[in-house]
Structure 1
Amino acid sequence: MTSFAGKEKERVWKAYSRREVEGMIAEGRSIIILDGFVLKVDAWLKYHPGGPKAIFHMVGRDATDEVTVLHSPEARAMMDRYRIGRVEGRWVNFLPPIQGGVFRPLGEEEEDVADTPPPSSHASSRSPSPPAVFDEGEGLRNRKVKGAPSVSSVEEDETEKPFDGMAHLDMLTKKEIKLDLERYPPLDGATQDEIMHKYRLLNQRIRDEGLFQCNYRAYGIECCRYTLIFIAMLFFLRIGWYATSGFFLGAFWHQLVFTAHDAGHMGITHDFHTDSVIGIIIANFLGGLSLGWWKHNHNVHHIVTNSPEHDPDIEHMPFFAISHRFLASLRSTYYERVMTYDRAAQALISVQNYTYYILLLFGRFNLYRLSWAFLIFGKGPRRGPAWWHRHLEIAGTIFFWSWFGYALVYRSIPTNAQRIIFVLVSHMVTAPLHVQITLSHFAMSTADLGTTESFPQKMLRTTMDVDCPEWLDFFHGGLQFQAIHHLYPRIPRHNLRRTQKLVMGFCEEVGIPYALYGFADGNRVVIGRLGEVARQAAILKKCQAAAAREGIH
């Protein structure tokens, strides 16, 4: 009997032109390019465990690298059933509809059927962050520099319209794009193809060296640490040291998150259901947070990293704005609402560099809110391989509030004042985790360099690593290697330090700056970025006030 794979090899696939693919997308089809094949994935949208939005951001694009690093070989092979044809030659990406791409149905403007990118399919009708356009004849030079200088350090090369706040923001956007174009390799096809080729060779080398294989002994040590911390929490609870007990409970949650993160990326057993159950037990049963919500959020984050309009991990309005573009009241494609720059946002962002650490003390309470909304409104898949995850998560959440809320807080602590202290301390102790998560992205570029930028270059441009001694790895939990993790999300965290050396060599070879800061230096850069946006908010406010005085609308 001929196998399915054998039949696939024997099949003669229809060759689709770029114009034909555009026409299918204009009809509402979800088309992605994978290893040179055209995939129509509409039927998979409601089954995708990571949610449909992660797929929407790949429509019209070559998704080979994103699919390879985020999925198991089994899931990757399953996608072959959605093939409908192939493309010839090098694929030129469209701007996905969710990001503002405009597509022409077949039959319109038939004189443009040649495989050249029409302007309408590469630009949003209303984009506050216009993508960069690379002129191959210009030959922009890559300059490797340390650190990420402020946008304001770029020379003033454009004249700002008087009293025009939006013109001021547009000028800042162009400066940020210019800075990245000067620091990173050119965006022409030959350069980006070479980066992708060497990145895939690196992937194979990492696989050959066994760095995708999990170190279960290391997880045994982790479990011993978790158990000792939890026992310490119970001991101090028993003797009435409630603040100390709360400290150890917070430390317990802090450590658990790292393993839940690994499981969510299938980085432990590499089996979807096994790792999902491990993640749900840790996140829901022991931590009260939804692993399903995290997957929907985090998968999008890994694809559109540091995009103000699309990445939910940097969308914290009205509390924080890490880019001046948030001051233009952007619409979030993830939350499907406008992040309004209103009076509350104006007040909070003007002091965000001072309130950053204070607000992160309460970050865990916001995660409860997001988790409950995800589970209550049934936003996860109800069919497909993950259909039962929501039910297990709901059971886990009820279990968590039973042991934590009722048995621990209500039954074991005698007074309301002591209960409040216990809850606040246990939640505030997790603040370093929130600092760690934001640290690797808040300081990095939010510029949109367009559809020609390769996946590895974008990840390295928008993500940084935190340097720390090896003995502190347990405290950072692998999240200090965020640049490495974004390039290879499924590598177990205990192998990330070894992988870092290989990635550094890759960056040196292709000319991509590798962002590496110490923990203190990284925090200073983040605070500097928040302060810079706060200053731009003050300038915008002055522009608006001046425009009001002059009667400009």
Structure 2
Amino acid sequence: MPALSESVANTPDTGDYTGLSRRIRLAGLLDRHPRYYTVKIGLTLLAFAGLCVVFAALGDSWWQLLTAFGFAVLFAQLAFLGHDAGHKQIFRGRHGNDRLGRALGGLVGISYGWWMGKHTRHHASPNHEDDDPDLDIPLLAFTRGQTGGRRGLLRWTAGHQAGLFFPLLLLEGLSLHWTSVQAVWEGKISHRRTEAALLLAHFAIYGTAVFTVLSPGLAVAFIAVHQGLWGVYMGCSFAPGHKGMPTYTDGTQLDFLRKQVLTSRNVRGGRWVDFLLGGLNYQIEHHLFPTMPRINLRRAQPLVREFCATHGIDYAQCGLLRSYRYVLAHLHEVGEPLRRSGEALAR
């Protein structure tokens, strides 16, 4: 997708976000759902505990690679709940959500404070070429502007990024761990001691359990499968929401409504997609109303889509597999100049 043109983006806002917000509020879609989250969190933690028991019971068996797959799924589901807590979707007050978020982050080995800072900047400037940290990934280029000045490995990976995208996601889990440790070590977050203790506990328990129950070779294989699949799952959950959608710069003035809608993409599907993507398939509604409990996003979607249609605002939505095709096509297009120049030098 190209950058948003100033002629389109600077058009006076014909949509009344205040009116939409009032309609959403009157429908009760911003109300908390403590029963839903009690059941959701309880079942997820129960499944996690049950899989830990299975892991211990199986012992040193190659069947453990199946439990590695199960842990990858549960790590992602716990991270989704941490995401909900970070947006104050679970409790009314910030402190309760933050305490839960830090605990869930500790379970999967992510610094909640680091993630909150990064994700808050993303929501403030989604797909902004300079201000959105989710576009700042050294090995990839999401805009033609990011391809300039690249040399060596970074130039090659950006040129071939469409083919490398899914393989690189295998490293996403390790990247989340490493960046979290860096943020805590450098003191870039609040509650540093608590987060440091949680990360230390995570890595100590994880490493001790894996290398005590499994032989060294199997332990390494388990970690590779678990961390790799978790990274792929996380990347495949977040990428459809914005990658391949229009980007913008400071030269393009966007009102809040258009900034959130025009840069986001929804993913169609039934409740299995809701579960699989943790509610991130309703990216437009989530960005317009970040504190809306996940369970209400499905109900809000037709209201928001009707509003956008009435006011002539593009509303992007497609199936899950098609969303990945859009992402890969965009990466392929952005990397084309680097591939061409590389082929010319090879001649």
TM-score of Structure 1 vs Structure 2, range by shorter chain: over 0.9
Deviation (angstroms), 1:276: 0.2
Match of 1:323 in 2: 143
SS in 2 for 1:270: coil
Letter matched to residue 362 of structure 1: L
Normalising by the residue count of structure 2, what TM-score does the alignment of the two structures yield? 0.92
Alignment partners' CA distance in 2, 1:461 and 1:539: 31
Equivalent residues of 2:89, 2:292 under 8 A apart: yes
**Which structure 1 segments of 5+ residues have no match?**
1-149, 152-175, 330-340, 382-388, 546-553
**Over alpha carbons, which structure has the higher Rg?**
1
Alignment of 1:190-269 (within 5 A): 191-192=12-13, 194-195=14-15, 198-222=16-40, 223-240=42-59, 241-269=63-91
Partner residue of 1:522?
323
SS of 2:318's partner is strand
- State yes or no: 1:297 paired with 2:114: no
The yes-or-no answer on 1:349 pairing with 2:172 is no
Look up the equivalent residue of 2:188 and give its one-letter code: K
Residue 403 of structure 1: how far off its partner (Å): 1.5
Q: Is 1:280 the equivalent of 2:93?
A: no
Q: CA deviation at 1:232?
A: 2.7
In the TM superposition, what is the alpha-carbon distance from 1:292 to its structure 2 partner? 0.3
Distance 1:541 1:310 in 2: 29
C-alpha separation in 2, matches of 1:444 and 1:536: 20
Do the aligned partners of residues 234 and 421 (structure 1) sit closer, same or farther apart at CA in structure 2, a change above 3 Å counting?
farther
The 2-side partners of 1:540 and 1:274 are apart by 53
Distance 1:456 1:259 in 2: 26
Distance in 2, Cα, partners of 1:308 & 1:409: 41
Give the aligned partner of residue 10 of structure 2: 187
Q: Secondary structure at the match of 1:404?
A: helix
The one-letter amino acid paired with 1:487 is: L
The answer to whether the 8 Å contact 1:233/1:248 transfers is: no
Q: Report if the CA contact (8 A) 2:69-2:229 is conserved.
A: yes
After superposition, what is the alpha-carbon deviation per residue over 1:228-256, rounded to whole angstroms, capped at 9, x for unaligned? 24313431442233212212211210110
Q: CA deviation at 1:444?
A: 0.4
Shift of 1:542: 7.2
Rounded Cα–Cα distance in structure 2 between residues aligned with 1:277 and 1:320: 34
Deviations 1:454-481 (A, max 9, x none): 0110111111111111243211111111
Contact 1:237 1:245 in 2 (8 A): no
- Following the alignment from structure 2 to structure 1, what is the Cα–Cα distance between the partners of residues 250 and 288? 18
The AA in structure 2 aligned to 1:244 is L
Offset of residue 423 of structure 1 = 0.7
* Contact 1:444 1:463 (8 Å CA) reproduced: yes
- Please tell me whether residue 359 in structure 1 is matched to residue 168 in structure 2: yes
What residue in structure 1 maps to residue 265 of structure 2?
464
Give the CA deviation at 1:541. Answer: 5.1
Contact 1:360/1:434 (8 A) holds in 2: yes
Contact 1:265–1:490 (8 Å) recurs in 2: yes
Equivalent in the alignment of 1:384: none
Cα displacement (A) at 1:451 = 5.2
Match of 1:314 among 135, 140, 158: 135
Structure 2 CA distance for partners of 1:405 and 1:304, relative to 1, 3 Å:
same
Offset at 1:217? 2.5
Q: 1:422 aligns with which of 198, 207, 222?
A: 222
Per-residue Cα deviation, 1:151-181 (whole angstroms, up to 9, x for no partner)? 5xxxxxxxxxxxxxxxxxxxxxxxx444x74
Map 1:39-118; keep pairs closer than 5 Å. Answer: none
| Per-residue deviation, residues 394-417 of structure 1 (Å, max 9, x unmatched) | 1211221222122x112222x211
Provide closer, same or farther for how the CA distance between residues 539 and 447 of structure 1 changes in structure 2, counting only shifts above 3 A: farther
- Unpaired runs of 5+ in structure 2? none
Checking the alignment, whether the CA contact within 8 Å between 1:236 and 1:244 is kept in structure 2 is no
Distance 1:451 1:523, change over 3 A: closer
**Equivalent position amino acid for 1:484 in 2:** E
> What's the TM-score once normalised by structure 1's chain length?
0.59
Q: Following the alignment from structure 1 to structure 2, what is the Cα–Cα distance between the partners of residues 245 and 521?
A: 30
- Residue 228 of structure 1 aligns with an amino acid whose one-letter code is A
Alignment-derived partner of residue 105 in structure 1: none
CA RMSD of aligned residues (A): 2.0
- 2 CA distance for matches of 1:277 and 1:529? 38
Q: 2:199 aligns with which of 381, 384, 397?
A: 397
Does the CA contact (< 8 Å) of 2:160 and 2:339 recur in 1? no
Q: Does the Cα contact within 8 Å between 1:346 and 1:537 map onto a contact in 2?
A: yes
Preserved CA contact (<8 Å) 2:267 2:318 = yes
Between the aligned partners of 1:309 and 1:237, the Cα distance in structure 2 is 47
Structure holding more helix per residue: 2
What SS does the aligned partner of 1:479 have? coil
Please name the residue that 1:145 is paired with: none
Q: Which amino acid aligns with 1:425?
A: V
Paired-residue identity, %: 28
Question: What is aligned with 2:178?
Answer: 369
Q: Is the 8 A contact 2:240 2:324 kept in 1?
A: yes
